[in-house]
Amino acid sequence: MKAVTSFLRKPIASAIVAIAIGFAVAAVVLAAAGYDPAASFAALFSGALGKPKYIANVFIKATPILLTGVAVAFAFQTGLFNIGAEGQYILGTILSSIVGIMVDLPPIIEIPLVVLSGVLGGALLGAFIGFLKAKFGIHEVITSIMTNWIMLYLCNFVVGSNTFHKPNSTSALPINPSAYTMILPNWKKSPEGMAALDNIPWLKEVLLKTDLNMGFIVAAIVAVLAGILLARTKLGFKLRAVGHNKDAAHFSGINVDRSIITCMLISGAICGLAGALNITGISPHTITLLAAQEGYGFNGLSVAFIAGCSTVGCIPSSLLFAGLLYGGMTVQQVMGAPSDIINIMIGTIVFFTALPGITPILANWIDKRRASKADALLAAEAASATGDTPREQAAEDLVTDASNNVEQEA
Amino acid sequence: MDVSPEYAVQMHDITKVFGSFTALDAVNLDVKKQTVHAILGENGAGKSTLMNILYGLYHADEGDIYLNGEKVSIGGPNDAISYGIGMVHQHFMLVENFTVTENIILGDEVCSAAGVLDMKKAREDVLRIVEEFGFEVDPDAKIEDITVGMQQRVEILKALYRGADILILDEPSAVLTPQEIEKLVEIMHDLVSKGKTIIIITHKLKEIMSSADECSIIRRGQYMGTVDVSQTSEAELASKMVGRNVNLTVEKTRAEPEGVMLEIKDLTVTDERGIEQVKGLNLEVRSGEIVGIAGIDGNGQKELVDAIMSLCKADAGTIKVGGQEIQNTSPRNVLDHSLVTIPSDRQKWGLVLPFSVAENSVLERHGEELFGPGIMLDYDKIRSHTSKLIKRYDIRPSGCEDERMSGLSGGNQQKAIIARQVSYVPDVLIAFQPTRGLDVGAIEFVHKTLIAQRDRGAAILLISFELDEVMDVSDTIAVIYHGQIVGSFEQGSVTEDELGLLMAGGGAA
């Protein structure tokens, strides 16, 4: 029992409890709709983890939402709500596509150049939102939502423009292959490569059937660096101080305006990186006409909240999220159950992680109950030792004590 | 004590436990009818808890309450009101842009049959009480236009309107000038003569001596007894409250001031609403002296401090530290000129509550190489720096380096700020309301620290709404009124009444 309560007091407990509740709710919905929950979950797991290539795809899907999640979590820890991750992501894809189409250099220069242009795009857009907040006091949520749409239409404008449009398609021209960041893109398709891979079937499957790329590793490093930046550097100290108490930070000589802009710049840069890595890492390696937001930024919000806004926590949380999304498609194929079930499940999980106070309260309640039971037992023992009260009386006390306690808690 | 109808309120063996903390331990209170009864105790002693139990905001775990000799059970404030108990909180609960009448009837509105507000009758009702108790309050004035003392009278009227016979006043004098306090005492005695019973919660000894008939003392949740005020002295009350002998007079040697360190010339500051709050203010503070500014809240003190810290714009005039102008720069620049401030609102301006005590102790200084090379922070060094401050300034609980600042008590939060600012070894130290909300023991500590800093050679500007504090601690006393210094005196050369008059805008100086 002690272990249970001390576990419940840890921050991760609320995430795990929320995930469990999410599965439970999904099971109820599935059962109500006439599908076997156990078989559906089995399909979900095998769809996400059943084959090496599935696992690789989960990592690929997790990459952009890990980064947007880190961006949101980073901003959140410094008191800003970057709901504009979506727009910053899109600008990242636009700029890295343009640079990737127009410039063709050896990969060692091309890749950093293309990726950095995406990062720069996101950073500038983020900084602009921060600037509007710092100088004119316009709330970042409003400007972020606006820029999300502006970026969506900017993307469509670039795709449709004469310079970049790929004839007879809904997308822009692909970037030059020198900017591709898949693992061994040429070797794996060459005869020698094929021959070598024949001996390792799982690797062959992963490399040839997916766009496995460097993205996730980069993203995980960024998550760790963002965590270190916040917790261990002077800049992070300033940003967090501003986030928790702007007035006290200002009073103690911290430049609040600059902090807000810096924070949004970093958050935007991470979103831009997400966009750039998607362009360089997965086909079609370019931007396409968007009918609606793709949701990379918004899914980043969910990832960050499941992670309790810890940047490093976004790593497992993005994998869970990507696993659910990717495995959810199998649920639809195998069971015929609509993949909306998965969205209900994700929604439930996010909803319950948004109530982080619940598990410590639960822990206190358990502790209190146990303490009062122990007291009652002690009293009973003492009473029976002195012979003042019959044992039955003590046992009765114990019951009333416990029920009183429940009432009080209620 | 026996239960008897002679007593308006009797609370016997009241115990209240919050979690593992016993806030009240078998406390007794017996308030005779038609008296002013004071409840004295340090911060956190449990006096407010006791009154909140009487007002029905909390429920006692044990103990009984008797009103006029009859046992009652008070389930909530509505029960309390129906038993004729009224409470005036320290922070007024008034709607600023409503009139006095509207505020008084709010929550107990007079309605005609169809549920329409009958303002005419309401106004008559209010006028009747105003006249009955001789309050000088205009029922049609808006709250935002009347003085704090008036606002307090409106709060009392609110309780009387609801038929209160027993009035609980929580720290009633905290926001008043000496003259307004006198007026309040008059009102209290008048109410008592008209049959009301008054309980005041306070930690101000002077006020008890001047207004109360009896005084019950609570120390750390324990009932320490009730004394007849006419038979006791301030010193006796203080030692009963704190549990040791407290030096009520501030001990210090004569100031030996040197050159002018802080020089303010013709300073004009406008607030956000465009109202000129500081109007051509002149002030000098020399190294090694404490200049105290006495004045009522809202006479430009806040804007003066904001301008010194470069938190707001100075429209005209100069502020010099050691001869260099610092106005209209940035807080960082001001700090770099070795001027630090103990802010009036510690939780808003002084502390980042979710940060640890250690992080808070380097809020201004985290950029120094001492606390980490280059862009990195060295938490071990920050922690050891903090440990020294905790030991030296007795910040409790000891070893709280990694605790969140929000977990510390108000007094210890204030100690943490003062320790941090003093560790800066400043040339100029501004202390704005440094003892706000602190108890006698903590106040003694703050005053000693200010004097020690003075003796070290710092120039100290003390701005306080507590006239006693300014008079006791300062070497030079200046009075601020409507954004100007209207008088400046050496300590001991001026009386409380003279200062009070100046603070209220009277007299020519």
Task: Locate all alpha helices (DSSP H) within A103-187, ordered by sequence.
Answer: 107-136, 140-160
**Residue B375 to residue B505: CA distance in whole angstroms:** 53
Q: Which residues pair with B484 in a beta bridge?
A: B481
How many residues are there in chain B?
A: 509
Angle between helices A296-306 and A52-77 (to 10 degrees): 80
Residue B333 resides in a domain: yes
Number of domains in chain B: 3
Q: Are residues B162 and B54 part of one domain?
A: yes
Structure-token match 């952009």, residue found: A64
Give the CATH number for residue B494: 3.40.50.300
pLDDT of residue A334: 87
pTM of the model: 0.78
What six digits make up the tokens of A162?
Answer: 């004469």
DSSP H or E run through B417 = helix B410-422
Residue B130 resides in a domain: yes
Read off the pLDDT band of A390 (50, 70, 90).
Answer: very low
Domain locations in chain A?
66-321, 359-409
Q: Are residues B447 and B364 part of one domain?
A: no
Residues of A in contact with B416 (CB under 8 A): none
3-state DSSP assignment of residue B209: helix
Which residues, other chains included, contact A292 with Cβ-Cβ below 8 Å and sequence gap of 6+?
Answer: A152
Q: Are residues B131 and B76 part of one domain?
A: yes
Q: Are residues B13 and B126 part of one domain?
A: yes
Q: Are residues B193 and B260 part of one domain?
A: no
Render pLDDT for A259-311 as a digit per residue (tens, 0 to 9). 999 999 999 999 999 999 999 999 889 999 988 888 898 899 999 988 888 99
- Which of B381, B406, B422 is at the close of a domain? B422
- Neighbour count for residue B452 (Cβ, 10 Å): 12
Contact A265, A84 (CB under 8 A): no
Does residue B237 or residue B1 have the better pLDDT?
B237
The minimal CB distance from B352 to the residues A233, A241, A255 is found for A241
pLDDT above 90: residue A363: no
Residue B345 resides in a domain: no
Render pLDDT for B255-304 as a digit per residue (tens, 0 to 9). 889 999 999 999 999 988 888 999 999 999 999 999 999 998 888 999 99
Residue A372 phi, psi dihedral angles, 5° rounding: -70, -35
Angle between helices A296-306 and A85-102 (to 10 degrees): 130
Residue B202's nearest CA partner among B313, B9, B48 is B48
Render pLDDT for A315-329 as a digit per residue (tens, 0 to 9). 999 999 999 989 988
Does residue B19 or residue A245 have the better pLDDT?
A245
Q: Are residues B430 and B417 part of one domain?
A: no
pLDDT of residue A125: 97
Q: Are residues B120 and B203 part of one domain?
A: yes
Task: Locate all alpha helices (DSSP H) within A179-313, ordered by sequence.
Answer: 191-198, 201-209, 215-232, 234-244, 246-251, 256-281, 296-306
**Residue B382 to residue B368: CA distance in whole angstroms:** 11
The minimal CB distance from B348 to the residues A237, A240, A248 is found for A248
Read off the pLDDT band of A379 (50, 70, 90).
Answer: low
Read off the pLDDT band of A394 (50, 70, 90).
Answer: very low
pLDDT of residue A384: 61
Structure-token match 């005209």, residue found: B316
Choose the mutation target among A232, A242, A247, A251 for the interface with B, i.e. most B CBs under 10 Å: A251
pLDDT of residue B271: 85
Residue B326 resides in a domain: yes
CA distance B450 to chain A (A): 20
Task: Locate all alpha helices (DSSP H) within B221-330, ordered by sequence.
Answer: 234-242, 301-308
CB neighbour class for B498 (10 Å; exposed up to 12, middle 13-18, buried from 19): middle
Residue B450 resides in a domain: yes
- Which of B185, B220, B242 is at the close of a domain? B242
Count chain A–chain B contacts defined by CB atoms under 8 A. Answer: 64
DSSP H or E run through A344 = helix A340-353
Q: Are residues B188 and B215 part of one domain?
A: yes
Contact A247 B379 (CB under 8 A): no
Q: How is the beta sheet containing B260-270 ordered, strand by strand?
A: B276-286, B260-270, B314-321, B324-325
Which residues, other chains included, contact B252 with Cβ-Cβ below 8 Å and sequence gap of 6+?
Answer: B451, B454, B473
- Which of B242, B260, B288 is at the close of a domain? B242
Which residues does B contribute to its contact with A (CB < 8 Å)?
Answer: 309, 311, 330-332, 334-335, 341, 343, 348-355, 359, 363-364, 366-367, 372, 375-377, 379
The amino acid occupying position A398 is: L
Q: Are residues B454 and B401 part of one domain?
A: no
Contact A147, A84 (CB under 8 A): yes
CA distance A333 to chain B (A): 48
Q: Are residues B176 and B102 part of one domain?
A: yes
| 3-state secondary structure labels for all residues of A17-55 | HHHHHHHHHHHHHHHHCCCCHHHHHHHHHHHHHCCHHHH
Complex-level ipTM: 0.77
Q: Are residues B320 and B278 part of one domain?
A: yes
What's the number of CA atoms in the CB half-sphere (13 Å) around residue A398?
A: 18
CB neighbour class for A308 (10 Å; exposed up to 12, middle 13-18, buried from 19): middle
Domain residue limits at B138: 7-242
pLDDT above 90: residue B23: no
Whole-number CA gyration radius for chain B: 25
Alpha carbon A336 to chain centroid distance? 28
Q: Are residues B500 and B440 part of one domain?
A: yes
Read off the pLDDT band of B228 (50, 70, 90).
Answer: very high
